[in-house]
Amino acid sequence: MEMDIINPHCAGIDIGSRSHYVAVGQALEDVKEFGVYADDLTDICLHLKAYEVTSVAMEITGNYWQNLYVELVKHGFEVTLANGKFTKNIKGKKTDVKDARWIQKLHSIGLLTSSFLPDETTEKLRTYCRQRQNMLDLAVEASHKMQKYLKILNFRLDVVVNDICGLTGMAIITDICKGNLDPEKLSEHRHGNCRKLKEELTKALKSICNVTHTHI
């Protein structure tokens, strides 16, 4: 059964980490390989214009599609970013050339729909939110590591303070990093908001390092 051509002047691009395969038709000679450098992306646009292509479809693959997408839009092409589950090829040996031709074929008969792309303001906000969450995750990871190594030395700071990265905890850790292992002096960093008494902090900060130095 034949299907009507919805997008007569279209191309399909198989995105890769090291090269992009561009299909402007279904013949083998209609598929051409390009690199991923800036000049290569420009060459792709010029190649498409030479074949009077107006609409381009490509699969969203990692982050590799982003630079090419920007370049295509800048050159005035209508770009359809298809989800990978809609561009899965028929069973058989998978090649980049076949994938490019398959994407072009699906796009030509109108079977591909574009994924949602936020506007510039929304994209900036989403990037800031993701970066903030990444920084929070890194801070939590660093805090857990600090707590782990303090426990190894038997500095039980986690028992006497609610947050080792609070005012009391950071002041004590900073002093420890400077080489001060005296529990009496370390407990002097107790902040007024700390619920534990100075005596309990002293007990918690008596590490195995202090015991070792005493025996020596």
Q: Report how far apart, in Å, the C-alpha atoms of 169 and of each of 20, 85, 185, 186 are.
A: 53, 50, 14, 10
pLDDT in tens, the chain (216 residues): 577 888 999 999 999 999 999 999 999 999 999 999 999 999 999 999 999 999 999 988 788 999 999 999 999 999 999 887 767 765 666 788 999 999 999 999 998 988 877 777 888 898 899 999 999 999 999 988 988 888 887 888 888 888 888 888 888 888 888 888 888 888 888 887 777 778 888 888 886 555 444 433
pLDDT at 207: 67
Give pTM, 2 decimals.
0.63
pLDDT at 62: 81
pLDDT at 216: 33
pLDDT at 214: 40
**β-bridge partners, 81:** 58
Distance CA 98, CA 93 (A): 9
Name the residue ranges covered by the structural domains of the chain. 10-108, 120-215
pLDDT at 215: 38
pLDDT at 200: 83
pLDDT at 158: 80
pLDDT at 209: 55
pLDDT at 89: 62
CATH topology of domain 10-108: Nucleotidyltransferase; domain 5 (3.30.420)
Given 3-state DSSP classes, what are the helix, strand and coil percentages for the chain, each rounded to the nearest 5? 50, 10, 40
